């Protein structure tokens, strides 16, 4: 699992939009402030428009602005809008099939790690992070070893750990 440079730049551009929701932000200005080539910033803008996160207005005084309320979108949603689904390992993807899954002692670990990361990134919105309203946290169940199989849903294919 990797947060791409493109995602990092997209989050920085979105931060600029959250901080100044009243005005349009030109892609050129965003590119300069984020420190990326204009063509790369345009590519990021295009992806954010396709994801429905920003809208683009053309013309001399055009630019981009948020299309959604930043309090309504989690950091995970932004990351996945830019780079696709976050997966810990190929076996944890939506159609993650592995011939060793039924006997792999690590599969439940990767599933649990992915659930933990999702919990963390879903715990804060774009507004929370940019405006310092809330810090990320994880569900307390992740600290409870006995709760492991409540968030690791690999069914009968999960080898069972010694439960204490």
Per-residue pLDDT tens over the stretch 96-145: 677 777 778 888 888 889 999 999 999 999 999 999 999 999 999 999 98
Give the per-residue pLDDT at 159.
55
Helical (H) or strand (E) element with 63: strand 63-66
Q: What is the pLDDT of residue 109?
A: 87
Task: State the pLDDT at residue 160.
Answer: 57
pLDDT digit string, tens, across residues 57-106: 887 778 899 999 999 999 999 999 999 999 888 777 777 677 777 778 88
Q: How confident is the model at residue 158 (pLDDT cuts 50, 70, 90)?
A: low
CA angle 45, 1, 102 (to 5 degrees): 135
The burial of 126, by beta-carbon neighbours within 10 Å (0-12 exposed, 13-18 middle, 19 or more buried), is given as buried
DSSP 110: H
Contact 64, 10 (CB under 8 A): no
- What are the structural domain ranges in the chain? 5-66, 87-157
Assess whether pLDDT exceeds 50 at residue 41.
yes
pLDDT, mean of residues 21-47: 93
Does the structure show a pLDDT above 70 at 19?
yes
Q: Which residue has the higher pLDDT, 83 or 158?
A: 83
Length of the chain: 164
- The whole-number pLDDT of residue 162 equals 47
CATH of 5-66, one of 3.40.30.10, 3.30.930.10, 3.40.640.10, 1.10.10.10: 1.10.10.10
């Amino acid at each position: 699992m990797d947060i791409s440079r493109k995602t990092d730049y997209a989050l920085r551009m979105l931060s600029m939009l959250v901080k100044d929701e009243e005005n349009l932000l030109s892609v050129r200005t965003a590119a300069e402030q984020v420190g990326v080539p204009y063509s790369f910033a345009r590519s990021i803008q295009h992806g954010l428009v396709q994801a429905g996160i920003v809208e683009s207005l053309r013309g001399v005084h055009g630019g981009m602005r948020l299309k959604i309320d930043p309090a309504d979108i989690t950091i995970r949603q932004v990351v996945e809008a830019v780079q696709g689904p976050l997966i810990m390992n190929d076996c944890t993807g939506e159609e993650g099939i592995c011939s060793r899954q039924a006997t792999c002692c690590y599969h439940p670990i990767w599933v649990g790690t992915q659930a933990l990361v999702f919990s963390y990134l879903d715990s804060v919105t774009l507004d929370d992070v940019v405006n310092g309203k809330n810090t990320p946290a994880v569900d307390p169940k992740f600290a409870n070893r006995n709760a492991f199989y409540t968030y690791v849903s690999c069914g009968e294919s999960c080898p069972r750990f010694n439960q204490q």
